[in-house]
Amino acid sequence: MNDFVFSMMLLGALSSGGSLPFWAVSNKNGIMPEENGAVAYVSAYKPFDQSRTFQWQAGASLAASASFMPSLPGLDAEAPRLMVDELYAGVRWKVLRADLGMMHREREFLGSDPALGSLSVTEGHVVESNNARTMPGYKLVLEPWAVPFTDGHLLLSGIWGDYKTIDDRFVKGALVHRLRGMLTYDSRNHFYAGAGIDHYALWGGVPSDPKYVPIEVNLSNYLRICTGRSASPAGSRNDQMNCLGDHGGAEQLRIGWREDKYEIAFQWEKPYNDKSGMRMNNFPDGVYTLHWSLKDKNSWVSDALVEVHYTMWQSGTIHERETDADGNQINWHKLDNDKKINIFGGDSYFTNGEYKSGWTHFGRPICGPLFFTSTSSAGITTIGNNRYEALHFGISGKLWRYAPYKLMLTASRDYGTYSRPYISPSTWNSGWNWWEKNTIDKGLKQFSAAFTGFVPFRIGRRSSLDVVYGLYADSGELFQEAFAGILGIRFNI
């Protein structure tokens, strides 16, 4: 039987600019302060016992963070925040699993040690990274299951879940429905390939503005959410014309090759915000990831990753109705200059006109962290940057084959959104095609770097003390230029 594992950590962060750089706060489960400060963290969890057929797990973690030495004159130090990071329990029987509570999201493309996190900006899931605070809910999991009569070559996996937002947002108490499915072919030798969909829907809740029609939480509407149907006559006009609630997600393709000493995998994950995106009209948008990983995690370099992000097209620069006055399907719009462009454009990933807070939680994007947030004059935090280009590198290993480390280098050019560009004008309504040279959009250049790791010290038979460190830097036109250091200790029992 696996015993409970206890961990306690204390970190201090100091930045030359006051505000902490991008990688010091991103993909940190939403618990790091935005400015100079400190974090205390305590956790206890019991993992699944792989030796048993029926297994159970449980865990809890609390975090307290505080900011000091504010970056702007006249500001007071932020009072400490106490946060429930995780609180969950789960059971597993063979390939079936059920989890209840608040849990960290799955991380993929890991480095030399799981404690370092992922080498990927999106952690392998552009829809749901660990960039924001956790949400309470449940999920039913089908772990890779061999489809009968395929000799174990065809595997099906998936997740079905429902959650509730608990932050201060435009639609208070909005519910989240989650669906993920993956079908994988595995040669059981070297080659494997899989394709899947990762979908979310925001619904329910109470809008802050009474002019918006709330979605009643009942079985009928839940079934409409699950099947992507439009609203009943009691719903808003927009929901009657489209799908009920705010739907979005990503389509995923992954191929890989395994050898005895290494594995290499390529993944293309393409976000969508409507039917045009699901129909591939938004190609070539997506996150392109190539990950090389050694089986020997004690190597000086055990893992390397390169990632290309492109979300500029969004199905096109013009958005019109899909049918003409006679109800005939419209596929193309012809401009005076005789250029044909897609008419279902402006997908505006992870945003919505009625669920104005979009795909955020506690002010941070739930999706990949390069989808930066912004706050409107009305105080509503939403996704303010969903058109960007980025090149990212990640390297991990163990210094002197002993101390795990991770290096992250991210260069991006950020444009805001079609309707609210960082620098006007944008290509919205211009007729620009993604395969043509873009001479209209002007983006803000940004570079962020991080070198993190820890030095482990064994204490007794089961305990260890880790000296945790991190060096971070931001340079560019979007964030304040800053260099920061983080230092702390982590005690594991």
Q: What does DSSP assign to residue 238?
A: H
pLDDT tens string 35-77: 999 999 999 999 999 889 999 999 999 999 988 765 444 445 5
The confidence score (pLDDT) of residue 328 equals 53
31, 486 in Cβ contact below 8 A? no
Lowest mean pLDDT among 49-53, 331-335, 415-419: 331-335
CA distances 120 to 157, 197, 309, 389, Å, are 22, 19, 11, 15
What span, in angstroms and rounded, lies between the C-alpha atoms of 449 and 439?
29
> To the nearest whole number, what is the mean pLDDT of the chain?
90
Rg (the chain; Cα; Å): 23
More confidently predicted of 461 and 283 = 283
More confidently predicted of 276 and 60 = 60
The confidence score (pLDDT) of residue 79 equals 65
The confidence score (pLDDT) of residue 337 equals 45
More confidently predicted of 345 and 472 = 472
**Rounded mean pLDDT of 210-239?**
83
DSSP 362-396: TTEESS-TTS-EEE-TTS-EEE----EEEEEEEEE
**Rounded mean pLDDT of 237-252?**
82
The confidence score (pLDDT) of residue 57 equals 96
The confidence score (pLDDT) of residue 431 equals 84
Cβ partners under 8 Å of residue 214, min gap 6: 171, 204, 205, 206, 207
Place of tokens 């973690």: 61
Q: Is 334's pLDDT higher than 80?
A: no
Q: Is 428's pLDDT higher than 80?
A: yes
38, 77 in Cβ contact below 8 A? no
Lowest mean pLDDT among 166-170, 171-175, 238-242, 363-367: 238-242
Q: What 3 state SS string does 431-490 have? A: CCCCCCCCCCCCCEEEEEEEEEEEEEEEECCCEEEEEEEEEEEEEECCCCCEEEEEEEEE
The confidence score (pLDDT) of residue 276 equals 65
Q: Is 154's pLDDT higher than 70?
A: yes
What span, in angstroms and rounded, lies between the C-alpha atoms of 235 and 238?
8
pLDDT tens string 164-186: 999 999 999 999 999 999 999 99
Q: Is 252's pLDDT higher than 90?
A: yes
Band of the pLDDT at 318, cuts 50, 70, 90? confident
Band of the pLDDT at 232, cuts 50, 70, 90? confident
* Percent with pLDDT over 70 in the chain: 90
Count, residues in the chain: 493
What span, in angstroms and rounded, lies between the C-alpha atoms of 349 and 442?
19
What span, in angstroms and rounded, lies between the C-alpha atoms of 199 and 243?
13
Band of the pLDDT at 338, cuts 50, 70, 90? very low
pLDDT tens string 441-451: 999 999 999 99
In degrees, rounded to 5, the angle at the alpha carbon of residue 228 between the alpha carbons of residues 222 and 232 is 65
pLDDT tens string 184-197: 999 989 999 999 99
| Domain boundaries, given as residue ranges, for the chain | 106-135+147-220+249-442
* Percent with pLDDT over 90 in the chain: 75
Q: Is 332's pLDDT higher than 50?
A: no
